[in-house]
Structure formats: structure tokens, C-alpha cells
Structure 1
Amino acid sequence: MRAIHWVVGASAVIFLCTAAQADIIFADFNVNEGIFQYAPNFSGTSNVLATSTADRTTAAGEVLEGAGAEKLVLNSGTANPTRCRFLAGVTTAGSPAGQQSFTPTSGGEDGYIGFWYKIAGGTATGMKLGINLDSPANTGATMVGGVLKDVIADGQWHAMEWNLDNLSEWGAVTAIGGSSANLEGSAKTIDSIYFYFIPQPNLSVTVLIDYVVKTDSGHIPIPEPASIGLLLAGIPLVASRRRK
């Protein structure tokens, strides 16, 4: 596994990515929470404390692009491992109904799916992130999950993404089921973003999420408005890429 880090700043080499027309933006949080409107402990497979919260933020320093981002405060008890299945949904949590769908194929290029994240407070030992996808049947057996990946908790924005053309980046959803075999051949919608970490009693970790997107080809983009703003302001941005 190779990690590529892009640093954008006043004195750094600048690499700007802009979204292609075929990219799908599932949530940018610029107007509201969109499909991520449910509490962190809404799912029965989540075991973070009920005091955990998820809300749209517009605060300075907490937004990657546009006018808003999603701010999660995850409070850990003693459950081992601690996990939050942060559900997506339009009318029903974790349901494909009304959601934007896409269909990965075995031929051609399907791009990447992912989001930008920032660990804004607290340190979660061994924290990993994943993304879970639903099929039209909307059952655990027909789900597919992006393999859990380590976070970088340095207070900077990072890209977390999964290659839709690489089955080794997909598998069963931890604690639910499914298989990488479910990835191709049928429509997919976002079931949830997965937060997974080693329990630490009384731990509170703050995670910011922004710009949940699928590309038609290539890596998920640095949102153009933020890139321009960073170029003008000289604020550092670190992007973490993981690929085979």
C-alpha cells in the first residue's frame, strides 16, 4: 500500500483538481446535512454513546469548501471496538430510496468514491474510516464496504477514498455482512460512513466531514473553491491518498 501526500500552501507546489462533469456529489453540506441527517447512534450497529452528536457547521476553520461541513462529536464508552455507522438516507435511514445511485462495472473505469475528513479534536487510538454501500435489495447480505483505513489525526484536511475498480479495496461490512462480490453489476447508494476505533472511556473525538463525492475517473478532487481560497490565503492543506 502506498501513501501519497499532497500539500497545498503559499510556498508549496500547487496541484489543483477540479471535478469532471460526470462526478457525483452526494453531500457538500453547503445548505443542509443532505443525506447525512441522522444521529451517530441511530443505527443499532453503532455503539457510541447517545451523547454523540452530528450537526452541520459553518464555523471558520471547520469547513473545507463552500458554506458548510458536517461535525461529529463521537463519545466512547467501553464497547470494544467502538464504532459509529453514520447512516445516509433521504426518507429512511440506510435506505437506497430517493438516493443518487451509480453502477460499478467490471469493464471500463468507474473512478473513486470518498470524502474529505479532519480530526479536529481528541485522539482516537487506532481510528479507521470506511464507506458502506447498499444494493437495491437493501439487506446486509447484499452490502459492500470499503476496507477500513487509518486516519491521520493532525488537524489537517485529508482525502479518504476507495477505488471502485480495485476489488481488494472492498469487502464485507464489519459487524454486518456482505462481500466484495456485491460491488459490480447493480446500482449502489451510500449506506453509511463508518468510524471504528479502540475504546477509551470518556473519550470524545471530533471529526469533520466534507465533500462526499464519486468521480467518473481518477482520485476524488480537491474542491475548487477551497483550492482557490487556500492559494490566496496561504493556508496549508494536506491530502492523503492511498492506492495500490
Structure 2
Amino acid sequence: MSFNRLPVVAITMDLQVLQHHHHLPVLLGGIVTAGALPLTIDCRAPRDDLDHLMGMVDGLILLGGADVNPELYGGDGSDPLVTAAPRSLDDNEITALHSALRRGLPILAVCRGAQLTNVALGGTLVADLPRDRPGAVRHRLAEELLDRPAHAVDVTPDTRLAQWLGAAGRIEVNSMHHQGIETLAPGVRAVATADDGLVEAFEIAAANLVAVQWHPEILWANDVYAENLMRGFVCCCADRTPAGRALC
């Protein structure tokens, strides 16, 4: 027996942290509004079911959170300005990422998720932007300000990101990060930059992977480009389901 269904999107997270995040209902609401069903996966503790779970879903979102462990990119593990996530969170999300890539799932990585994706694919990070790469752009604003734009980015035309946004060129984004991309991983393409030259987004278009430093999953309620980005991602996920295709 066959039946139609909406696309299911896995969202990896550290529930211990995000359950106190006052934007969590907005985040989940953005997935639903875009036309998908969210499947939240708590990755704080070690798990052995992630490849199985990736086989049950139509897309993956890697969320923001604590810093990526420096040892994963040759950084200083004793850096006082780095607050690393539990190593099991990094390991679990890297496992989910590679499983999703093998399966051809659309992937949206945001903030920490973008940084972890770059590291997992062979790139490196700036440990602390204000100290190590000071510039005119203020990248780390308070959590309560994530529902509004913080600074501009320039989006490269003819990219997967521009397709999902429905726009290229200059747009406004929100921001809450103190780390950033230093060296891009091999095989990925920078597709948005801030005015200080920092890479704000990269992608693997052939893999339907888009990684952004901002938080469209929160800004969507107040910004058409963020909403478009969520819908564009979900539309790629919907291509895997008969019912979902009707959304796009």
C-alpha cells in the first residue's frame, strides 16, 4: 500500500542547550511552515542509530550551538575563548552529515553547523573572530536579537544559495557567532561574504548542501529571504516524496 506524505527533516541538536533557547518554537515552526515534518535528534550523548535515522528522512539540518572541538581542525584545545561542545555531539553530527551526503539528502547547515561541516570536510576555523580576525562587522549579537537582521552579506548569483533565497546580491542577515571560516574545505564553494571579507556561506551545489553562518531558521518569521531559504531547502527535500512535490 502506498500513501502520500510530507518530507521529513532531521534536525540534529544538543537538547540540553536548545531546550533553554527561547527561539526553539520559532525554529520548529519554520520547518512546519515551509512544509516539512521535523524529526529532532538529540546528539549530545553517543549514539549508534544515526545512519539508520538518515535512511528514514528526506533532509538534514545541522543547527547552531557550542564551539567545534579545536582538535578536529588543528586548533588549540586549551584556548580560553573556545567553549567546546561535548565531543560526542561533534562526532554524532559528523556521522549524520556523512550519512546524509552518501544518501544524497539535501543538507542545510547553520552557524555551528556550517563550521562543523567545513571542518568535517577538511577545512579550518578562526577560533575567535574579535581576537584573531578583528573587523568592522559585528558578528556576535545577543540571542534575543536573532529575530532581526544584524549585517549585510553579498550572495553570489547562479548558486544553490541564491536559488533557495530567490535572490542574489546584497541581503541582510542575523548573526550570533564568534568563530568563522578560516580555510574552506576542498570541494566547497564560497557563495556569500560579509563586508569584512568573512565567508558567510558555502555550498556543494551538486550535493544540495548549503551552509550559512546566519540563522534563517529563526529569522524566517520576519524576513522574506530567510523564509525563502527555508522553503527552498524543504522543496529540495520534497523532491523525494510525491506529496511534497506539490508544495514547490
TM above 0.5: no
Choose between structure 1 and 2: higher helix proportion. 2
Q: Return the TM-score normalized by structure 2.
A: 0.28
Comparing both chains, which one has the higher relative contact order based on Cα–Cα distances under 8 Å and sequence gaps of 6 or more? Answer: 1
Choose between structure 1 and 2: higher strand proportion. 1
Q: Return the TM-score normalized by structure 1.
A: 0.28
